[in-house]
Amino acid sequence: MDKLYSKIIKAVKSSTDIYLNKNYEEREDKHKFDNDDVTNRDIMTQDFLQDKFKKLLPGSRFVGEEGGEEKPENDYVWVVDPIDGTFNFKHDVPIYGTQICLRKNEKTIFSCLYLPVLNQTYYAILGKGAYLNGKQIKISDKKEVKNIGVCIGDFQVSLDIKKQKEIVSALNDKVKRIRMFGSSCFDSCQISKGSQDVYITHTITPWDLLPGDLLIREAGGVAYVNKDRTSYIYGSHENVLQVLDLLKNVDKYSVLENITLQDFKK
């Protein structure tokens, strides 16, 4: 593995020492919308990663969930979610993690998603596959629709809640199970290693989508998006098409080739 990527993984894993099994303080002054969850640990973790990454690639741009978007100085951009699943973290639900990706010339070239409670390190290198603790992983094979497991991201209050509920209703008695874990980091990891079959997420933020996007694609998955670019579906091509058929009266989706940061400007 490239030395740079090894250093990124080390930094991500070290950053979780800031919040794992630690007390926290809610930072309502940092809430981005009503009912948001932001703690001092989110901010401290992001500050730590920003410092580490800027030293690894001086002049690089940094885009983080807790602020810090900067004007580009070169072709490299970091996208960081310091604690993905903050609500779970606050309530001692062990489904959360830190996820980051590195982009160059508007393409994600590396991503790392770390689940500290499980001590599982996921990473993907553009064109070189997806890995869990150093072993290559693949998404699940084609299944009958009645045996497909679907995980769905949290409902986004800033988006169309009615349509999101219609998606669940359309799938409810057609697929094997529907799960909502409350962490895009965790969801992406489950799809990438084949523990779940299809992932549907509603988001307009790059830190929720981009790290997992490369991980799933490098594990053999495909991506579809609706016209508004607010709803994304991942999985094997065959399994995604079966789910899309169930959603044909809810929303229209098309193949998602590449994502730029401009796609998230709402």
pTM: 0.93
| CA-wise closest residue to 15 among 39, 36, 54, 42 | 42
Instruction: Please provide the CATH number assigned to the domain covering 3-136.
Output: 3.30.540.10
Which two structure tokens, joined as six digits, stand for 102? Answer: 């590195």
Residues of the chain with pLDDT under 50: 29, 73
**How far is C-alpha 87 from the chain's CA centre?**
16
End-to-end CA distance of the chain: 36
pLDDT of residue 31: 52
pLDDT at 73: 43
Q: What is the pLDDT of residue 75?
A: 86
Distance, CA of 243 to CA of 223 (rounded, Å) = 12
Instruction: List, in sequence order, every residue forming a beta bridge with 149; answer none if it has no partner.
Output: 177
Beta strands 135-136 and 149-152: pairing type? unpaired
pLDDT at 70: 56
DSSP per residue, 222-259? EEEEETTS-EEEEE-HHHHHHHHHHTTTT--EEE----
The b-or-e profile of 217-239 (16+ CB within 10 A means b, else e) is bbbbbbbbbbeeebbbbbbbeeb
Q: What is the CATH number that goes with domain 145-264? A: 3.40.190.80
Question: Can you give the length of the chain in residues?
Answer: 266
Q: Among candidates 233, 234, 225, which has minimal Cα distance to 264?
A: 225
Provide the residue ranges of all domains of the chain, joining segments of one domain with +: 3-136, 145-264
- Residue 179 β-bridge partners: 151
